[in-house]
Structure 1
Amino acid sequence: MKYDLIDRALFIKNRKNFSAQMKPKSLAVFNSNDIYPISADSTMPFQQARDIFYLSGVDQDASILVLFPDAPLEKHREILFLTETNEHIAVWEGEKLTKEKAFETSGIKAVYWIKDFEKVFFEIMTQCETIYFNTNEHYRANIQTQTREARFVEWCKKQYPAHQVAKSNPILQRLRSVKDPIELELMQKACNITEKGFKRILDFVKPGVWEYQIEAEFMHEFLYNRSRGFSYTPIIASGNNANVLHYVENNQECKAGDLILLDAGAEYANYSSDMSRTIPVSGKFSKRQKEVYNAVNRVKDDATKMLVPGTIWAEYHKEVGKLMTLELIGLGLLDKAAVKNEDPDWPAYKKYFMHGTSHNIGLDTHDYGILTEPMLANQVYTVEPGIYLPDEGFGIRLEDDVVIQEKGEPFNLMRNIPIEADEIEDIMNS
């Protein structure tokens, strides 16, 4: 991995918290992701399944974690199964985790090679009553490929049909949404790398550059600073492309007078950052562009202040909608009659700001978190209002990542990334 070794105290604590919520005489299983094929002998770059990483720090394929707090043998209360490394694998693929290195990474002493999984698993399944399966129940999940986890669930139900079944997901949704200080440090590192990338872009952009060249500048800075790359597919949207919310072609020339909506963030150690900024190709906003820009920025600042413990996500979005409505009236985009007669299921402001304002962020860009429950301290949310004006040829979105505090306003992990319109102009023209 490119990143520095993470303090295993994080993973020890995460396992302890998860195990404390398991039923008596139960075990839980977590599988790594597959390496997915492209064609011939080509594969996609490996990305670890976030839950096994969260609980162990293991960041390689063909790995399994088993938690069995009530196991009769103490050594079976936490078990890792890994691919056996050898000299041949070390030469062709690079050395994989040894048992000693796995302990250093995870704090787990019981490490078996994965070829022994079925034998050991049979022994511990005879000693438990319930098995926790790790299904993906994120509200945005849209899975079309069978995962290693799903194959395991099928196999296990067939081999052990008499066991009771439970779900690990509700436990993980709550645990993963509240960040440990070590996690916040890793997320700050990701945001710091994003900051470096954005400042590089401000120095690079001018009329005639292409969107993909901007993407390349980001990638250079991310890789240079020990990131694997983007947390998600980046949006580099100049001119009217900004009015396509998930524009990812990034293949158009950036022209004088246009704006560029940048939605890009670096990952670090599997943790995400998620930044949006909108900048002028020519280094200066027009009067109208700046009016709209400042309106979006005011909504972002006021919305951020609402992210405090106890806030309900759905109610928060209604309040942000009221802020945006006032700004759109001030910009001449809405009038009071349109607001008075609006459809409550699709308020008038949605014509210009049609997406949500905030989502959890962490190991996933759209991270785990139960949105029907009150917000908690040390949850991390994006704040990303926007105004999209296809008739005027531009769209603006501004986004920061913020940590909810026990008291006071949220802590902005992107506090050092330029966002004020005047500051962006000054940097681009310096």
Structure 2
Amino acid sequence: MKYLPIDSQLFIKNRNKFVEKMEPNSMAIFNSNDIYPISADSTLPFAQQRDIFYLSGVDQEESVLVIFPDCPKKENREVLFLRETNDHIAVWEGEKLDKEKALTTSGISKVYWLQDLEKVLFELMTQAETVYVNTNEHYRASVETETRDARFIKWLKGKYPAHTYKRCQPIMQRLRSVKEPLEIEMIQKACDITEKGFRRVLDFMKPGVMEYEIEAEYIHEFIRNRSAGFAYSPIIGSGYNACVLHYVENNQECKEGDMVLMDVGAEYANYASDMTRCIPVSGKFTERQKEVYNAVLRVKNDAAKLLVPGTIWADYHVEVGKLMTKELLNLGLISQDDVDNEDPDWPAYKKYFMHGTSHHMGLDTHDYGILTEPMEPGMVFTVEPGIYIPDENLGIRLEDDYVIQESGEPLNLMANIPIEIEDIEKLMNG
């Protein structure tokens, strides 16, 4: 890992919060992700399953976390199972966690090697009545590949069918949605790295640059600042491409007179940032581009003020829709007649702003959180309104990341990233 060590107190506190939600005499089990094959002997880069990372800080494959707070043997109340390392593995694959490093990383003193899993688990299962298993229940999830957790659950239920099984997710959804101060520090670090990339691109941009060259400028700056790379597939769309919401080809030329939409974010220590900025290829906004840009910026700024404790996500989007409707009317893109006769299920503003405004963010770019429950202090949300006008080859989206506060307006973690037209033009032409 490129990131600096994280204080194990974060993971100890996260486990304690999870334990508070467990039923008596119950045990929870979390698995690392697999390393996924491509073909031949090629594999995708390893990316840790976020729940086991959240609870342990362990960031390597073939690891298992067991939490059993009522275990008769005190030493088995928190247990890690790790792949046994040796000098041969260190030479061929690099350093892995040994038992001492696992304690430093996670705060867990009892570590078994993975080959002892079935033997130790048999003892633990005879003592536990309920087992919490980990599944992916994110509202956007569409999982076709069988995960390591899914295989493990199938095996566990086959071997121990008489136990009561419960889901970790209802607990994890709530815990992960409210960030600890140290988590917010790491998200801030990811945002700061993203800022460095954006400022680099402002110096680099000129007519004739390819979208993928902009992507390269970002990844250069991200990696040199201890990020593993992009938190999600970067969207760098110039001209008409900015109107394609999930455009990821990034293979077209940036032409004079066009705008470039850049939806990019660095990760740091598995924590995401999520930024969108739009800049003119030539370094100067046209009057029309300014008009649409400032309309989106006003919606973003006003929408952010609605992120306060007690707000319901669905109600919030209704209010943002009203803000956007006003701006589209002023731009002449929709008429009052369009609004008066709109379909309540697809309001008039949706013609030019068809996606949601905010989502939870944290260890995942679209992080866990229960959208039907009120917003709380410590939650991190994006705010990302947009106006897309394909007929004009113009798409504008602006996005920052905000932390909900106990009172007052949310904290903008991207406040230092230039967004005002005057600042962008000055930096591009300085």
Residue 399 of structure 1 corresponds to which residue in structure 2? 399
Give the partner amino acid of 2:40: A
**1:277 CA displacement:** 0.3
Secondary structure at the counterpart of residue 166 of structure 1: strand
The answer to whether 1:267 aligns with 2:270 is no
Residue 256 of structure 1 corresponds to which residue in structure 2? 256
Normalising by structure 1, what TM-score? 1.00
**1:85 CA displacement:** 0.5
- RMSD (Å) for aligned C-alpha atoms: 0.4
- In structure 2, distance between residues paired with 1:389 and 1:79: 55
Residue 114 of structure 1 corresponds to which residue in structure 2? 114
| Equivalent runs, 1:3-402 vs 2, <5 Å | 3-402=3-402
Give the partner amino acid of 1:224: R
Unmatched segments (≥5 aa) in structure 1: none
**1:422 CA displacement:** 1.3
* Number of aligned residues: 430
Give the partner amino acid of 1:115: Q
Give the partner amino acid of 2:273: S
Give the partner amino acid of 2:288: R
Secondary structure at the counterpart of residue 151 of structure 1: helix
List per-residue Cα deviations over 1:263-282 (Å, max 9, x = no partner): 00000000000000000000
- In structure 1, distance between residues paired with 2:28 and 2:267: 28
- In structure 2, distance between residues paired with 1:393 and 1:195: 26
- In structure 2, distance between residues paired with 1:33 and 1:337: 53
**1:421 CA displacement:** 1.1
Secondary structure at the counterpart of residue 381 of structure 1: strand
List per-residue Cα deviations over 1:145-175 (Å, max 9, x = no partner): 0000000000000000000011110000000
- In structure 2, distance between residues paired with 1:298 and 1:367: 26
Secondary structure at the counterpart of residue 362 of structure 1: coil
**1:425 CA displacement:** 0.8
- In structure 2, distance between residues paired with 1:174 and 1:90: 38
- In structure 1, distance between residues paired with 2:369 and 2:133: 18
- In structure 1, distance between residues paired with 2:241 and 2:329: 24
Normalising by structure 2, what TM-score? 1.00
- In structure 1, distance between residues paired with 2:426 and 2:59: 42
Residue 413 of structure 1 corresponds to which residue in structure 2? 413
**1:95 CA displacement:** 1.5
- In structure 2, distance between residues paired with 1:91 and 1:398: 46
Unmatched segments (≥5 aa) in structure 2: none
Secondary structure at the counterpart of residue 162 of structure 1: coil
Give the partner amino acid of 1:87: D
Secondary structure at the counterpart of residue 28 of structure 1: strand
List per-residue Cα deviations over 1:182-201 (Å, max 9, x = no partner): 00000000000000000000
List per-residue Cα deviations over 1:102-132 (Å, max 9, x = no partner): 0000000110000000000000000010000
Give the partner amino acid of 2:22: M
- In structure 2, distance between residues paired with 1:320 and 1:326: 10
- In structure 1, distance between residues paired with 2:390 and 2:166: 49
Secondary structure at the counterpart of residue 13 of structure 1: helix
**1:323 CA displacement:** 0.2
List per-residue Cα deviations over 1:371-425 (Å, max 9, x = no partner): 0000000100000000000011110000000000001100000000000011101
- In structure 1, distance between residues paired with 2:210 and 2:202: 14
Residue 429 of structure 2 corresponds to which residue in structure 1? 429
Secondary structure at the counterpart of residue 369 of structure 1: coil
- In structure 1, distance between residues paired with 2:216 and 2:128: 52
Give the partner amino acid of 1:371: L
List per-residue Cα deviations over 1:124-147 (Å, max 9, x = no partner): 000010000101000000101000
Q: Percent identity?
A: 71
- In structure 1, distance between residues paired with 2:201 and 2:111: 46
- In structure 1, distance between residues paired with 2:21 and 2:390: 50
- In structure 1, distance between residues paired with 2:221 and 2:35: 26
- In structure 1, distance between residues paired with 2:167 and 2:287: 54
**1:60 CA displacement:** 0.2
- In structure 2, distance between residues paired with 1:381 and 1:170: 20
List per-residue Cα deviations over 1:239-263 (Å, max 9, x = no partner): 0001100000000000000000000
**1:101 CA displacement:** 0.2
List per-residue Cα deviations over 1:33-76 (Å, max 9, x = no partner): 00000010000000000000000000000000000000000011
Give the partner amino acid of 1:189: K
Secondary structure at the counterpart of residue 101 of structure 1: helix
